[in-house]
Amino acid sequence: MRVNALFLGGIGVFFGIIGLVYWFTSYEDAGFLMLVGASLLGLMPGAYYLWWSRHMTALEGDEPEAEVSDGAGVVEAFPGSSIWPFLLGMGAFFATLTFIFGWWLFPIALALIGSAVIGATVESRRGGTV
Amino acid sequence: MTTTIEPPDLIGPEEPGTPGGHPPVAHHDEHAHHDGPTGIVNWLTSTDHKVIGKSYMITSLVLFFIAGALALVIRTQLADPTSSLVNFQTYNELFTMHGSLMLYLFAGPFAFGGLANYIVPLQVGAPDMAFPRLNALSYWLYLSGSAMMTLSFLVAGGAASFGWVAYAPLSNAINSPGTGTDMWILSLGLTGFSAIFTGVNLVATILYLRAPGMTMFRMPIFTWNMLVTGILILIAFPVLFGAAVLLFCDRHFGTHIFSVQGGGVPVLWQHLFWFFGHPEVYILALPYFGMVTDIIPVFSRKPLFGYKGMVFATMSIAALSTGVWAHHMFTTGVVLLPFFSILSFLIAVPTGIKFFNWIGTMWRGQLSFQTPMLFSIGFLFAFLMGGVTGVLLASPPVDFMTHDTYFVVAHFHQVLIGTTVFAGFAGFYFWYPKMFGRMLNDTLGKLHFWVLFVGFWVAFLPQYVLGLKGMPRRIADYLPSNGWTGLNVASTIGAWIIGASFLFFLVNLVVSWRKPVPAGDNPWDGGGLEWFTSSPPPHHNFTHLPAVRSERPVWDYNHPEHRKVERPEAPATTPERETVGAPR
């Protein structure tokens, strides 16, 4: 966790410095704002990891002397198969096509996305097909 | 559920012909234990990273061949000064779609959606990606975006024709009307989100699902590079998505963000695009750097030279790459030349460290030149040439002279073919046995390499000279009196040689499919965790894991006599000379 914090925090600090140098040498706002965004992208999760690295025991993946048995137990509920990502993807596809070919495609997109959202939620409540 | 395509004749006892000669390390018999959908239903519903990774790889390779065919038409058109093989509008569509398919739909997705999706969870010892359904969604977004971009050839008005960079104001509704253009812009939205989701997945997998003992500084370099690539994706792709939406608003909803008439700024498009575009170059390069970094030690039979140096070089390249976007915009005259020039020059330093370490790894190793190693060495040559000309282009005076000429075309083709094709196919030949449980033919692989290598230099070295002679990019014809004909003919011949080299690859795939040679768990005697499980891996990847005590856990397991001893403090006496390799 500490390595993660340093890694992400380092990104944030680097882009912060680059952003400041860029602003005070160019006064160009688009690039400056994007660099600030990149800096925040590092600083926010970096601070989160820094806080947790001091408030929890190390994950077995961060423990150099960890034994394989330390990782025993349920990692996650991994769904073995699920049709909902496909329907959600197709829904996004039709929603995008709506912008090009007209609103008649929109109900299809809405139906696909709606069914996928409901289906995936129900599946998660069931725990998926692990 | 059945998650792997496996012919019945490969199930059975462990492999006979593993060069390392180690005992079989994994006994899996549960292939048949997961009843689930098969065939097309499996393809539609699978959330297994291995199935999704293979889908990504096959889709991106198909698009690679389509884009390559477009390139051959382009080169054939240019072989004759006044050729009329295609008309100007079609030519514009061809080079736009060649670039777009190669960069947006092949090079990135092949690496982070295909190989990384398959290999990274194996390398960190995870059962799957962190968010399996999100992973599946990202493939469907990628497939629909790819279909949308490719099919835009078929709509009235044809495909987008403004180059893969879509500069404003050329890309506005007046200069580039047509449905195909809209499809191009919105397909960037779909594939952009697919990349973002994959980036999230990779970062979460690498940060949270590492096996016990697999600390950050024991991860294989490919995994390290994919972590950094994932972060870069999260920095760059949202900007592309935003820019595409703004461009679409300009075209259809009456905004004037990129048009001067309404008070907008056309150069803003270039800022947004290249803030995505330059990190994108490294999103395309870093995974491939990681592949060769994993391959070279295996075929040198040495540990990687300078592991931490490699990690920090990757981080510095990624960090610097986000601060150099405007070196593509030197000739606009409105960017800060020294800032972008210095940062661009600085990227050469970590890249040089990487080259030093790659060569240091090979130095005095027991090299064996099997196909993946040959492709890796080909990558070193190709990327060196592309990289050195890139350093030249980072100098504003040189860039002013060569901007938008064939010099730049040659530069970025050498960079991108060096990474995505040479290193990419090195990775493909290297991990194909793991993915499909069978070997690719080494002789055909070497033929593929040598023909490709010759074609590569014949195709692109003349383009440097053409650029210096003043031939601009994106022209469909030129005058015989320009004196560019001979070099263009040479370049076209090279392009066809490159095309021909892939016939060996296709034949190789067919041979390996019709007459499979079982690969076994660890055909190359590799050291990463992916070689510990069966080929192809079972559902959820591992039945058991070795203790991870170094960056080569499987090597430690198979060769306990060579196990690396981690010394907490410096030894009091002079360390003994390494005995790896030939005596001096």
Q: Is the pLDDT of residue B486 over 80?
A: yes
Of residues B29 and B348, more confidence is placed in B348
Cross-chain Cβ contact A100/B212 below 8 Å: no
pLDDT score of B26: 39
Spatial distance between the Cα atoms of B152 and B185, rounded to a whole number of angstroms = 11
pLDDT score of A128: 54
* Closest CB from A10, A80, A92 relative to B190: A92
Spatial distance between the Cα atoms of B220 and B550, rounded to a whole number of angstroms = 10
**Mean of per-residue pLDDT scores for chain B:** 89
Intervals of chain A under pLDDT 50: 130
Q: B248 — contact with chain A (CB < 8 Å)?
A: yes
Confidence of residue B564 (pLDDT cuts 50, 70, 90): low
The distance of A64 to chain B (nearest Cα, Å) reads 5
Mean pLDDT calculated for residue range B184-200: 95
Confidence of residue B42 (pLDDT cuts 50, 70, 90): confident
Least confident of B307-311, B368-372, B410-414, B580-584: B580-584
| Host H or E run for residue B161 | none
Q: B323 — contact with chain A (CB < 8 Å)?
A: yes
Least confident of A65-69, B96-100, B106-110: A65-69
B chain contacts of residue A38, beta-carbon cutoff 8 Å: 235, 322
Confidence of residue B3 (pLDDT cuts 50, 70, 90): very low
pLDDT score of B36: 66
B chain contacts of residue A100, beta-carbon cutoff 8 Å: 179, 182-183, 186
Q: A111 — contact with chain B (CB < 8 Å)?
A: no
Cross-chain Cβ contact A84/B336 below 8 Å: no
Q: Which residue of A has its CA nearest to B233?
A: A38
pLDDT score of B562: 77
Instruction: Return phi, psi of residue B46, to 5°.
Output: -70, 140
Helix (H, G, I), strand (E, B), or coil: what is residue B1? coil
Give the up-direction half-sphere exposure of residue B529: CA atoms within 13 A in the CB hemisphere. Answer: 32
- B8-23+31-562: CATH topology is Cytochrome C Oxidase; Chain A (1.20.210)
Q: B275 — contact with chain A (CB < 8 Å)?
A: yes
- Best A34, A43, A50, A83 residue to mutate vs chain B (most B CBs within 10 Å): A34
Q: Residue ranges per domain, chain B?
A: 8-23+31-562
pLDDT score of B540: 86
Q: Is the pLDDT of residue B126 over 60?
A: yes
Query: pLDDT digit string (tens) for B318-341?
Result: 999 999 999 999 999 889 899 999
- HEC assignment per residue over B451-490: HHHHHHHHHHHHHHHHHHCCCECCCCCCCHHHCCHHHHHH
* Closest CB from B141, B252, B539 relative to A89: B141
Confidence of residue B40 (pLDDT cuts 50, 70, 90): confident
pLDDT score of B565: 59
The count of residues in chain B is: 584
pLDDT score of B79: 94
Q: Residue ranges per domain, chain A?
A: 2-62, 84-126
pLDDT score of B583: 40
Query: pLDDT digit string (tens) for B429-452?
Result: 999 999 999 999 999 999 999 999
The single residue listed with the structure tokens 């790659």 is B358
Q: Is the pLDDT of residue B122 over 90?
A: yes
User: So what's the ipTM on this one?
Assistant: 0.94
Q: B319 — contact with chain A (CB < 8 Å)?
A: yes
Give the number of A-B residue pairs with CB atoms closer than 8 Å.
Answer: 184
As to burial, measured by CB atoms within 10 angstroms (0-12 exposed, 13-18 middle, 19+ buried), residue B50 is: buried
Query: pLDDT digit string (tens) for B336-388?
Result: 899 999 999 999 999 999 999 999 999 999 999 999 999 999 999 999 999 99
